[in-house]
Amino acid sequence: MNEYHIPVLLEQSLEGLAIKPDGIYIDTTFGGGGHAKEILNRLDDKGHLFVFDQDEDAVANLWEDDRMTLIISNFRYVQRWMKYYNVEGKVDGLLADLGVSSHQFDDPQRGFSYRYDEQLDMRMNRQQKLTAADILNTYSVDQLQEMFSSYGEVTNSKTLAQQIVKARMSSPINTTGQLVSIAEQVMRGQKMRYLSQLFQALRIEINDEMNALKDLLRGAEEVLKPGGRLVVISYHSLEDRLVKRFFKTGNFEGEQDTDFFGKRSAKWKVITKNPVEAGVEEQKVNVRSRSGKLRAAEKA
C-alpha cells in the first residue's frame, strides 16, 4: 500500500471516536482517505461522513459513496460548513489528523521537502498567494528568528535568520536547494534533524497551522453534540500542548474556568489521560507515525 494511504493510529482513532452506525462524523483531513474508509465501514445507510481537505489533489482519492460529502476547504471553517449543511450541534464525532500527508512530502513540486531541489512553495492550499519563498525574502531577522525558534525549535535560530537575510541581499531565495545551502553554513547537530526543523517551521508559518488548529478546536466544540467525541493526532509539541490545554480547561492558556462559586465548568471529559503513540510495528511500516500523538475527549 502506498504510504499516502496508510492512516496513522487507525485503530486508536476509531476507538476514540466510539462510532455509532447511524451517526454523523467528520474527518477534517481526508488526505489519502485511509481513516475515512474505515469510518464509513462502520456506518450504516443512516450514517454520514463529512470529509475536509484544502488540497485539491485529495479529490483524486475520492470514491463514490452517498454517505460521504467532500468539502474542499481548510478545516478551520468546520463550524461554518456544518451550519451550511444544517448539522451544527448534531455531530457525533470529529477526527483531525494534523500535519502534512506523505503524498505532499513526496511530490517534489510542492516544495515541502529538502530532499528535492524545487521551488519553495509549501502551500497546502495552492489558491493562496503567499509562498514559503515570499516569507524567506520579506520577513525581518526578528520575524524569521521567532518563526524558527517557536515552530521549529531551531537552536541557533538568530544565526540562521541573519544568514538568510544576508544571503537574500545577493539574490532571492527561491528554491529548496538554495535554502539548504544557506542552512548548511550555520547548521548545528545532525543535518537531517536540523533541516526537518527548519522546513517544519516554514510550513507551519506559511499555512498558519497553529491558528487554524485553534479555530478547528473552537469549531468542534460548537458542531459536536453533548457526548460527541473529538480525536486529534498531532505531530508537534506546540500542537499537542494546545490540544491538551483545550481538553483540560476549554481554552488555550490552560486557565481553568470557574463560576461565581468557584466551581469548575468542565467542557470536556478527557478520554486519554496521556497521549497515545504508535507502537514499534506501526512505526516500522509508517515513518510518519513516529511523532504522532493522539488525544481524545468527549463533549460534556
> Which of the residues in the chain have pLDDT under 50?
1-3
pTM: 0.90
Grid coordinates representing 168?
537574500
Q: According to the model, what pLDDT value does residue 112 have?
A: 63
Helix axes 191-206, 141-152, angle to 10 degrees: 110
pLDDT, tens digit (0-9, with 9 covering 90-100), for 169-226: 999 999 999 999 999 999 999 999 999 999 999 999 999 999 999 999 999 999 999 9
| CATH 1.10.150.170 domain span(s) along the chain | 126-206
Q: According to the model, what pLDDT value does residue 160 have?
A: 98
CATH architecture of 3-102+209-299: 3-Layer(aba) Sandwich (3.40)
What order do you get walking across the sheet with 224-234 strand by strand?
A: 68-71, 48-52, 24-27, 91-97, 224-234, 293-299, 268-270
For residue 63, give Cα distances in angstroms to 36, 232, 257: 11, 24, 44
Domain 126-206 grouped into CATH 1.10.150.170: yes
| CATH 3.40.50.150 domain span(s) along the chain | 3-102+209-299
Considering only the C-alpha atoms of the chain, give the largest distance between any 2 of them, rounded to a whole number of Å: 63
pLDDT, tens digit (0-9, with 9 covering 90-100), for 87-112: 999 999 999 999 775 555 555 555 56
Residue 45, CA atoms < 13 Å, CB-side half-sphere: 0
Q: According to the model, what pLDDT value does residue 58 have?
A: 75
Q: According to the model, what pLDDT value does residue 107 have?
A: 58
Q: According to the model, what pLDDT value does residue 3 have?
A: 45
CA 97/CA 213 separation, integer angstroms = 11
CA 180/CA 168 separation, integer angstroms = 13
